[in-house]
Homo-oligomer: A and B are copies of this chain.
Amino acid sequence: MELGMIGLGRMGGNMARRLLRGGHTVVGFDPDAGARKALADAGGGVADSLPALVAALPAPRAVWLMLPAGRITDDTVDALAGLLAPGDVIIDGGNSHYQDTLRHAQALAGQRIDYVDCGTSGGVWGLAEGYSLMIGGDAAVVARLRPLFATLAPAADAGWGHVGPVGSGHFVKMVHNGIEYGLMQAYAEGFSILQHKREFALDLHQVAQIWRQGSVVRSWLLDLTAEALGKNPTLDGIAPWVADSGEGRWTVAEAIDLDVPAPVIALSLMARLRSRDSASFADRLLAAMRNEFGGHAIKPE
Contacts and interface: CB of A to CB of B under 8 A. Distances in A.
Interface of A: 10, 121-126, 129-134, 136, 153-155, 158-161, 163-165, 167-168, 171-172, 175-197, 200-203, 206-207, 209-222, 224-225, 227-229, 232, 235-243, 249, 251-296, 298-301
Contacts of A292: 224-225, 227-228
B180 A217 contact: yes
Contacts of A182: 182-183, 185-187, 189-190, 264
B130 A186 contact: no
20 contacts: A10-B294, A121-B214, A124-B294, A125-B293, A159-B213, A179-B186, A183-B183, A186-B186, A188-B289, A189-B263, A196-B259, A235-B285, A237-B300, A238-B284, A240-B283, A256-B270, A259-B273, A271-B274, A275-B280, A275-B286
B238 A191 contact: no
Given A172-B207, A180-B217, A256-B270, 11 more contacts: A125-B293, A132-B211, A132-B214, A183-B219, A217-B219, A232-B288, A235-B288, A238-B300, A242-B287, A242-B290, A278-B278
Nearest to A238: B284
Contact of A207 (B163, B186, B295): B163
How many of these chains are in the complex? 4
Contacts of A294: 10, 123-124
Nearest to A173: B215
Given A190-B176, A224-B293, A286-B275, A216 B265 contact: no
Contacts of A255: 189, 193
Contact of A196 (B209, B260, B287): B260
Nearest to A278: B278
A252 B261 CA distance: 13
A191 B282 contact: yes
Contacts of A287: 238-243
A37 to B, nearest CB: 20
A204 to B, nearest CB: 9
Given A172-B202, A182-B264, A216 B278 contact: no
Contacts of A227: 292
A210 B281 contact: no
A150 to B, nearest CB: 12
A283 B242 contact: yes
Contacts of A183: 182-183, 186-187, 217, 219
A295 B123 contact: yes
A293 B212 CA distance: 16
Contact of A281 (B124, B195, B251, B288): B195
Contacts of A133: 210, 214
A168 B281 contact: no
Contact of A210 (B134, B235, B238, B261): B134
